[in-house]
Every structure is written in structure tokens, then in C-alpha cells.
Amino acid sequence: MAPSIQLDNITPNNKKLLQLINEVTLPVKFSDDYYKESSLNGFSKLSYYGETPVGVVKAKLQVPQGSSTPNIVYIESLAVLEPYRGLGIGKQFIDFIKQQAHISYIHEVTLHVWAKDEKVVQWYQKQGFVVKEKVPDYYKAHGLESPDALLLSLQV
Ligand SMILES: CC(C)(COP(=O)(O)OP(=O)(O)OC[C@H]1O[C@@H](n2cnc3c(N)ncnc32)[C@H](O)[C@@H]1OP(=O)(O)O)[C@@H](O)C(=O)NCCC(=O)NCCS
């Protein structure tokens, strides 16, 4: 029988895994502040394939200027280790984020993605995301060649 795939909370004991998985999968590097406990909340999860941690999602609520009520769930990072891709783990993360948005009465999920990574852009489009805008030089500080990003949006 194939091992089960389950989401688990990110805690002080396992939060290093968030950093490790991000660092081996994503084209950008996050600051130490990104991994501070205060930035981890109900929108952050680890995915386990059996006993093995294989993926992470970290998202946050976004509050529009001039308001005190969040209206967007913004995915900061979502990554699955290469050998475990194509098993539905990424989709499970998106379903989890959609569910959290629903509970919070929020109707939009957004994220930035490296415009050059067509495969990942297509993957998000398959999950129902559409391109909201192109953001020139978004990843310039990260030293990526052709550093443009796409802001993707999903209505939930
Ligand atoms: C993008 C990523 C998260 C996808 O995770 P995953 O666990 O492999 O995706 P899933 O297995 O859940 O894919 C689910 C569906 O997408 C389909 N799919 C996979 N790759 C696809 C692609 N390139 N284009 C379109 N559909 C794709 C699968 O066939 C599956 O379809 P189904 O539900 O009809 O069977 C993973 O590839 C990844 O971590 N990439 C590198 C990190 C990255 O760049 N993250 C994005 C920046 S935030």
C-alpha cells in the first residue's frame, strides 16, 4: 500500500524543514525573518509522505491599504521535493489554502511566480489561477536572469 499523504502544522520543532525544502526547490532565497515563528500561522503546513516531510506551503493574509480587513490570502511559498511531484501534494496544498480562505470569508488567493518558469505557471493555471499582471524586475534583488514575475490570482 502506498504511504499516506498528510498535512501537518509547522511547529518550533519542525520549522527548519520549511527552510530546507524551500532552499532545495525554489529559485529564490528568503531572509531569516521569513522563518521566524511569528510569521508562521494557520496558513502554513508541511506535507508528509508517510513519515517523510516532502512539501511546504506558507501563506498569509493581505490587508488592502486603508482597510483593517484582509481580502486576499497570499501564498508566499509552495514547494514539493522533486521525487514526490505529480502525486497530488501541490494540489492538496491549494485545496487547503482554498479551504482556509473560505473559513476566513476571503474570495481571492494570489501569488507571484517566476515568469520564466512556464511549467510552474501552467501548473497554477491548471489549478484555476489566471494571470492578473506582469511585474517587471520583481526578482531582481534575487539575481535571477529575466527577473520578471507574474501575479497569479484565483477566485474562491
Ligand atoms: C509546482 C509544484 C508545487 C506542483 O506540485 P505537485 O505536487 O507536483 O503537483 P500535483 O501532483 O498536485 O499536480 C496536480 C495536477 O497538476 C498536473 N500537472 C503537473 N504538472 C503540470 C504542469 N506543468 N502543467 C499542467 N498541469 C500539471 C498533474 O497531472 C495533476 O493533474 P490531475 O489533478 O488532473 O491529475 C511542484 O512542481 C514544485 O514544487 N515546483 C518547484 C517549486 C516552485 O517553483 N513552486 C512555485 C513557486 S511558489
**How far is Cα 121 from Cα 129, in angstroms, rounded to an integer?**
9
CATH fold of 5-155 reads Aminopeptidase (3.40.630)
Average pLDDT, whole number, for the chain?
A: 93
List CB contacts of 49: < 8 A, sequence separation 6 or more. Answer: 3, 5, 84, 87, 89
- Ligand 1 atom with least separation from CA of 78: 48
Which residue has the least CA distance to atom 27 on ligand 1? 123
Pocket test for ligand 1, best of 110, 116, 126, 153 (most atoms within 8 A of CB): 126
Rounded to whole angstroms, the Cα distance separating 21 from 145 reads 22
Say what percent of the chain tops pLDDT 90.
78
pLDDT class for 33, splitting at 50, 70, 90? confident
Give domain limits for the chain. 5-155
pLDDT digits (tens, 9 = 90+) for 47-101: 999 999 999 999 999 998 999 999 999 999 999 999 999 999 999 999 999 999 9
Atom of ligand 1 nearest to the CA of 81: 39
